[in-house]
Amino acid sequence: MSEETCPNCGEPVERRQLVCLNCGARVALRERTSWARDPATPVATVLVALIVVGAVLFGFAISELTSGDGDGGGAGGGGNASQQAETEAPATEGPAVVSGGEQGARTAEEAPAETVPEQEPSTDTVPGWPKGVTAHTVVLVTSSDRAAALNVARKARGTGLEAGLLRSDPYDLGTGLWIVFSGRFTTREGAQLQASQLADRYPGAYPQLIQRSQ
């Protein structure tokens, strides 16, 4: 083993000695590469291998944890971003594609119950006098103009009256006339009471027996 000297005071020092025992100067700076010249022991070799493997595993773990945080540069990142987008996408973005049977079942289960609106009195369909029925009624309007009489009947039904339209000829109530009537009563008194109640809306309303003559 060659003898070394202190670069500061020239005193002899041993290899790998950190400081000079004479002046206290640092003398081991030139010996940092001496480990490379010494044969490595088996224990040192195992330690180095473990350190390398640990570094690789640690780097892999960090890569896995941070792979989904980027903008999706690689294929793996793109897959994670796509999967996350599908998971977090709101259900209202589009209808789910399902088979015919499953779609019918889901539609029946998920469709909200529709509220059926209350039907208003029909003003388009104006009934005539029932066939074979003899009864008293209230005559609201008599006109030779069918369209005008039909319009009156529709408006009466729109207000909730049981109004109808009949031709006068089959009942011997005139020729070529259209009669707007309201209600059917078994007695004349009942029809008269109804006519009195409708007098403000239909001046001249009167009770009439409807009996088919033809």
- Pseudo-torsion of CA 49, 51, 57, 61, nearest 10°? -170
Q: Does domain 135-210 have CATH number 3.40.50.510?
A: no
Note the helical H segments in the chain.
Answer: 34-37, 42-66, 75-88, 100-110, 146-158, 188-197
Mean pLDDT of 102-110: 48
Most confident of 4-13, 73-82, 101-110, 130-139: 130-139
pLDDT at res. 212: 82
| Portions of the chain given CATH number 3.30.70.1070 | 135-210
Distance (Å, rounded) from C-alpha 211 to C-alpha 171? 6
Report pLDDT for 72. Answer: 45
Q: Which residues of 86-114 are buried (b: 16+ CB within 10 A; e: fewer)?
A: eeeeeeeeeeeeeeeeeeeeeeeeeeeee
pLDDT at 201 over 50: yes
| Sequence-distant (≥ 6) Cβ neighbours of residue 156 within 8 angstroms | 140, 163, 180, 182
- Pair 145, 178: CB distance under 8 Å: yes
- Tokens, residue 49: 């291998």
Average pLDDT over the chain, rounded to an integer? 74
Q: Give the residue-averaged pLDDT of 108-129.
A: 56
Q: Is the pLDDT of residue 113 over 50?
A: no
Residues 125-153, mean pLDDT to the nearest whole number: 94
Rounded to whole angstroms, the Cα distance separating 206 from 214 reads: 23
- Tell me the average pLDDT across 99-117: 46
The type of residue at 59 is: G
Q: How many of the other CB atoms lie within 10 Å of CB of 76?
A: 13
Give the residue from 206, 193, 154 showing the smallest Cα distance to 165.
Answer: 154
Mean pLDDT on 59-88 = 54
- Check residue 89 and give its pLDDT: 47
* Tens digit of each residue's pLDDT (9 = 90 or more) over 13-71: 887 778 888 887 887 655 444 444 455 556 667 777 788 777 777 776 776 666 655 44
The pLDDT, as a whole number, for residue 2 is 54
**Structure confidence at residue 166 (pLDDT):** 95
Please give the helix or strand (H or E) that residue 213 lies within, else none.
Answer: none
Average pLDDT, integer, range 107-130: 57
**% pLDDT > 70, the chain:** 60
Instruction: Output the pLDDT for position 16.
Output: 76
